Amino acid sequence: MKKYIAAAICGVSFIASAAQVNVSEVAKYVYPSNVAASASLNFMPDGLSFLKIGDGGKTIDRYDVASGKLIETVLDVTKTRGDEKLESISSYQLSADGTKMLVYRESTPIYRHSYWAAYYIYDLNRNTLKPLSSVHPRQQAPVFSPDGRMVAFMADDNNIYIHKIDYGSEVAVTTDGSVNSIINGVPDWTYQEEFATFRSMEWAPDNSTLAYLRYDETAVPAFSFPMYEGACDVMTQYALYPGDFTYKYPVAGEKNSKVTLHSYDVETRKIKDIDIPRKDLEYIPSIHFGAETSQLIVTTLNREQNLLEIYRVNPRSAVSQSIHQERSSAWIVPECYENISYESDGMIIRSDRTGFSHLYRLDYNGNDLGALTSGNYDVTAYYGCGADGTRYYQSAENGPVNRTIYKIDRKGVKTAVSPAEGWASAQFAPAMNYYIMNYSTTVQPPVYSLIAAGKEKTLRVLQDNADYAARYASAPKKEFFTVENGGVSLNGWMIKPLDFSASKKYPVIMTQYSGPGSQEVTNRWTMDWPQYAATQGYIVVCVDGRGTGARGREFEQIVYKNLGFYETKDQNAVLDHLKGLPYVDGTRIGICGWSYGGYETLMCASSGAGYAAAVAIAPVTSWRYYDTIYAERYMQTPRQNESGYDKSAPVSRVSKLNCPLLLISGTADDNVHMSNTIELTALMINQNKWPDMLLFPNMNHSINGCGTRAVVYSRMMQFFFDKLGK
């Protein structure tokens, strides 16, 4: 009888669909074809000129900012002096004084956000090109000293080295590095993924000292997954026998890397071990020098991540002093420590102490110099302070779906410098004299404009994406709407078919991400599979439930220690709302999502709410399987919150999972391991259930390359064609 009841709930699973997805048509809407052109510039230090790679990577040219005219070619790979030659370059990094740059041609990925490369030092004045290291063939995270005369980097033995450009010499800073044991100067996997930090070494302003973090991950449990020959970036060494990839990955409740702070004196070549006198110290998310060498600013967190403590350290004396604390009843939002701005007279920090995220000034002794912003809205970015004292920032003051750029002068007068509606962001020159504004709406692709700061005069449009806009002119458009649930108004968008008729009944695909602090419902340009789905006769709906961002602390942190509960309530309220619409077929509503969205898809599909089909891509199936920093930030440890982990886990709800399910995963996902999918599948089989499944060999969490993104969404759409009909 239970089987018949389940079949009745998900009766559309028996719909036969003759429709077939055209992968080439899907590809037109998804990555990489859906990406609009951008226009970011690499400004020179004075902000009066900028650099740009030209001639297929063979040149780097310098242009005048005001006129846009070519001034000179600063690098031509065919004309460099010395024995070293490159056919082309892929990227470059400019020294602070603008006289040298680091360039490389090819890179090898390590994790999603990090890579190895063979770097070269190019001297703009001498036209010389030399390897960064003649001893170590590949390097990671190189950084110039402020005077441009030295470069610190980590080699593949996990040790830090300093290349002294004037002498062409190389000095070992550390010698204890060891793969999967000791890392110097570069963060471990967890820090990279969850603290958005990719280098852990910083030069003092006077070039005398290099401060760095050392990660001892010896006690961290290792995780391995197989590697195959594959068909994208083929690895022939695994043609007959699979290999494996092993790295340190601490799941919730397990040991983290032990992180310690050190300083290296360039003249004496001696290392000082710096003690941070905090008993509950677990994480050091960042280190950064202030205006002086005695002002090394060190951010620290306890394991619960509800107490941020900032220290000022003198790297010469090794004396450290606590100068600021932020506490939370839930978690300290990452923006508080990831986006500190260091200025000549102090720091600009973000805090949600009032219930909303705002900007505050601190001097380097920790004295509170007052709030820069206030109100019932979140500040979402800080851009910096100009020579005249004018500060620029971005906020959601005009509603969480919009982003507006503001400036505040010395007298505290606030002025909007972008439209109230739509989404504006900015890239400022180091001197804050010019900036590029990127502005879009749901119906207007990004337009990049070069603007003179102060008078906010638009000098010219760098990129209007006119051809791109014409290509998608007939694509279905988003409409905003709201859903009420428990007295809370939730923001959403809906995309209807172009030939929409209110007298017809349409199938619906709900899509969402739902993770803490995230946001999918925005008044900015996006083009992706939802527009394709609408061309196939589907209504696509997305709603940001409780826990998502830009709506203040209470809205976001209600999910604390209870992930999946309020998010599911809110998505189910969306489901009920849709069923009440006259043009929706309530028996043909599916749901999908990627990563946290895949997790929430499984929570909804096992809630008994009556979804007709579900597609979960790279889903977390238990927070016990996920990393310490992310899982414990929102859930504490499994020992502290055992029932919370149980209730929030799709693997604990398999008995309630009764609608057709498609699982998609990359076999080399270093973030959400494929084992999440395997463990859920094992439990489903044990209860005489089975999902459809598509695995991508050797693909990571992004499942990208060799046209695979189009395959992901083609398979998803075919599943919905088969289960929901057209």
Question: 483: closest CA among 473, 493, 475?
Answer: 493
Instruction: Identify whether the C-beta of residue 143 lies closer than 8 Å to the C-beta of residue 151.
Output: yes
Q: How far is CA 157 from CA 14, 139, 140, 166, 175, in A?
A: 57, 10, 11, 25, 9
Tell whether the model's pLDDT for residue 9 goes beyond 80. Answer: no
How far is Cα 717 from Cα 619, in angstroms, rounded to an integer?
18
Tell whether the model's pLDDT for residue 5 goes beyond 70. Answer: no
Q: HSE on the CB side for 538, CA within 13 Å?
A: 25
CB within 8 A of 373, min separation 6: which ones? 358, 359, 379, 393, 395, 408
* Chain position carrying tokens 């219930």: 355
Tell whether the model's pLDDT for residue 677 goes beyond 90. Answer: yes
For all residues of the chain together, what is the average pLDDT?
95
User: In this predicted structure, what is the pLDDT of residue 10?
Assistant: 40
How far is Cα 604 from Cα 614, in angstroms, rounded to an integer?
9
Residue-wise burial string across 421-453, b where 16 or more C-beta atoms lie within 10 A, e elsewhere: ebbbbbbbbebbbbbbbbbbbbeebbbbbbbeb
What is the arithmetic mean of pLDDT over 585-605?
Answer: 98
What is the arithmetic mean of pLDDT over 153-169?
Answer: 97
What is the token pair recorded at 36?
């609009």
> What's the pTM?
0.95
What's at 400, amino acid-wise? P
What is the arithmetic mean of pLDDT over 229-252?
Answer: 97
Q: How confident is the model at residue 18 (pLDDT cuts 50, 70, 90)?
A: low
Tell whether the model's pLDDT for residue 156 goes beyond 90. Answer: yes
Tell whether the model's pLDDT for residue 7 goes beyond 50. Answer: no
Q: How confident is the model at residue 273 (pLDDT cuts 50, 70, 90)?
A: very high
User: In this predicted structure, what is the pLDDT of residue 384?
Assistant: 97
pLDDT digits (tens, 9 = 90+) for 492-549: 999 999 999 999 999 999 999 999 999 999 999 999 999 999 999 999 999 999 999 9
CB within 8 A of 230, min separation 6: which ones? 238, 697, 698
- Dihedral angle over CA of 642, 645, 647, 652, nearest 10: -110
* Chain position carrying tokens 């500060």: 391
What is the arithmetic mean of pLDDT over 408-428?
Answer: 97
Give percent above pLDDT 90 in the chain. Answer: 96
Q: How far is CA 186 from CA 131, 214, 216, 285, 454, in A?
A: 21, 8, 12, 12, 38
User: In this predicted structure, what is the pLDDT of residue 112?
Assistant: 83
Give percent above pLDDT 70 in the chain. Answer: 98
DSSP letter assigned to residue 36: P
pLDDT digits (tens, 9 = 90+) for 650-675: 999 999 999 999 999 999 999 999 99
Q: Which CATH superfamily is domain 2-34+469-724 in?
A: Alpha/Beta hydrolase fold, catalytic domain (3.40.50.1820)
pLDDT digits (tens, 9 = 90+) for 34-61: 999 999 889 999 999 999 999 999 999 9
- Sort 387 into a burial class: Cβ within 10 Å, 0-12 / 13-18 / 19+: exposed
User: In this predicted structure, what is the pLDDT of residue 130?
Assistant: 95
Tell whether the model's pLDDT for residue 232 goes beyond 60. Answer: yes
pLDDT digits (tens, 9 = 90+) for 350-405: 999 999 999 999 999 999 999 999 999 999 999 999 999 999 999 999 999 999 99
Q: HSE on the CB side for 518, CA within 13 Å?
A: 16
Host H or E run for residue 722:
helix 708-724
Tell whether the model's pLDDT for residue 11 goes beyond 80. Answer: no
